[in-house]
């Protein structure tokens, strides 16, 4: 079974109440080949919610306690991000996820790039908190940008 970000399947769960629909991901869910998670909702957030970025490092650093996830107001929400990551990990284990496709650039779901904490639309290489934990636990995590390429080359 594949695990995917809820917003990629068309659910309006992003911080600003929108989705990040990817038709390939939506198709996987419709065909019951994938199930959805939103780590931020699993961590206790509501939609809409303030935007947040990782300050002082990457998702691995947040898990290690050396970086923080903060809202644009400066409010430290690291604990909720870490809770959401562990809830996502529990689900990944329950369904024995063979592939996890998460939304790029998110402080939870990014798996190649995240925003740098300046709230100036600047990105750095790195994982969000959930992707960092899932990779650390041995799961294969990719972004929607890669699965779109896979769809072009094979029938999943």
Residues that bind ligand SF4 (CB under 6 A): 5-7, 13-14, 38-40, 103, 106, 108-109
- Give bridge partners of residue 69 from the DSSP assignment: 54
- Cβ distance 108 to 84 under 8 Å? yes
Sign of CA dihedral 30, 46, 130, 71: positive
Residue 14: CB minimum distance to ligand SF4, A? 4
- Give me the phi and psi of 12, to 5 degrees please: -85, 70
If the CB atoms of residues 40 and 53 are measured against ligand SF4, the closer one turns out to be 40
If the CB atoms of residues 41 and 156 are measured against ligand SF4, the closer one turns out to be 41
If the CB atoms of residues 67 and 106 are measured against ligand SF4, the closer one turns out to be 106
Residue 107: CB minimum distance to ligand SF4, A? 8
Residue 63 corresponds to which tokens in the numbers above? 């898990």
């Amino acid at each position: 079974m594949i695990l995917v970000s809820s917003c990629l399947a068309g659910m309006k769960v992003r911080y600003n109440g929108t989705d990040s629909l990817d038709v390939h991901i939506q198709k996987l869910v419709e065909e019951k080949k994938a199930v959805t998670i939103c780590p931020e909702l699993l961590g206790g957030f509501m939609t809409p919610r303030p935007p947040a970025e990782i300050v002082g490092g990457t998702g691995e650093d947040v898990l290690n306690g050396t970086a923080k996830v903060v809202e644009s107001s400066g409010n430290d929400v690291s604990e909720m991000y870490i809770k959401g990551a562990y809830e996502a990990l529990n689900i990944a284990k329950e369904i024995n996820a063979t592939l996890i496709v998460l939304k790029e650039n998110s402080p939870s779901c990014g798996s190649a790039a995240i925003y740098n904490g300046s709230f100036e639309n600047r990105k750095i290489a790195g994982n969000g908190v959930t992707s960092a934990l899932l990779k650390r636990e041995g799961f294969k995590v990719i972004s929607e940008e890669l699965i779109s390429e896979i769809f072009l080359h094979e029938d999943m």
